[in-house]
Amino acid sequence: MSTDVRRALLASPTQAARAAEERLRAAYDFVPLEQADMVIALGGDGFMLQTLHSMLEARRILPVFGMNLGTVGFLMNEWRLERLDQRLEKAKSFKVNPLRMTVDTVDGERFSIPAINEVSLLRETRQTARLEVEVNGRAVLPELVCDGVLVATPAGSTAYNLSAHGPILPLGCGLVALTPISPFRPRRWRGAILPEATAIRFTVLDPVKRPVSAVVDQREVRDIANVEVGIDRATPLTLLFDPEHTLDDRIAAEQFIA
């Protein structure tokens, strides 16, 4: 990437990120976000997701180079003050297609929300959720009794999906993971790997007695009636990584961590 690209600098509100922001602004030139060609994001994975969602909502999507000043930093590069221009020039770009969740609530409200990591359906009370699962219009599970279920992108497959014992998906594989969370019935069902073009629909079978919420990355919609999930090819996101530590390398490495 050329070093004459106009860069905006965004930082999470943590003390470490704000301190790093001050040091970067003293050492390099930045422009306001509305004038930028790319974004430098300082924080953790949560702040990266927040930044990407803000761009999706504003319908102005820019490449993002994140530097980790959070906890895990799976979507981030290492924080360093030095040689930023050289790092950006050599950075490797990755396209990430988000999911799109369309949800109807029991009260008749409808929401359409993008998801970079995953869409999760979760029980709201001590009662297990009862869900019908449809794939491309066919009921593949007439009744799934569980704590919840999620649909994860490759970029999100090492997050909540992995904690729920879902598969790790290589970046660019064109697949999504459909993973149950503590399934009670059918007991032996451990999920599925589906082409990313698949249309997935969940219907809550007992939404009053067994209410269910839908969570997209960091946003929750409660008391849902049904949810449709599919890939959103109209708004691809671009993440930038140092060539020695790219996202596909990190996803592959996660498969060998005990």
Residues annotated as part of the active site: 45
Residue 158 counted as an annotated binding residue: yes
- How does strand 219-221 pair with strand 175-185? unpaired
The answer to whether 20 is annotated as binding is no
Does 93 show up as a binding residue in the annotation? no
Q: Is 117 within any annotated ligand binding site?
A: yes
CA angle 51, 55, 56 (to 5 degrees): 115
Tell whether 3 is in a known binding site. no
Residue 117 contacts residue 46 (beta carbons within 8 Å): no
Helix (H), strand (E) at residue 26: helix 15-27
33 by Cβ neighbours in 10 Å (0-12 / 13-18 / 19+) ranks as: middle
Is 159 marked as a binding-site residue?
Answer: yes
The tokens for 14 are 């943590």
* Two tokens, residue 225: 């009636």
For tokens 């999706």, the residue is 56
For residue 161, say whether it is annotated as part of any ligand binding site.
Answer: yes
User: Is 174 marked as binding a ligand?
Assistant: no
Q: Identify the residue whose tokens are 């000043």.
A: 69
Q: Which two tokens stand for residue 104?
A: 């109807």
| Residue 46 in marked binding region | yes
Binding-site annotation, residues for NAD(+): 45-46, 117-118, 147, 155, 158-163
Binding-site annotation, residues: 45-46, 117-118, 147, 155, 158-163
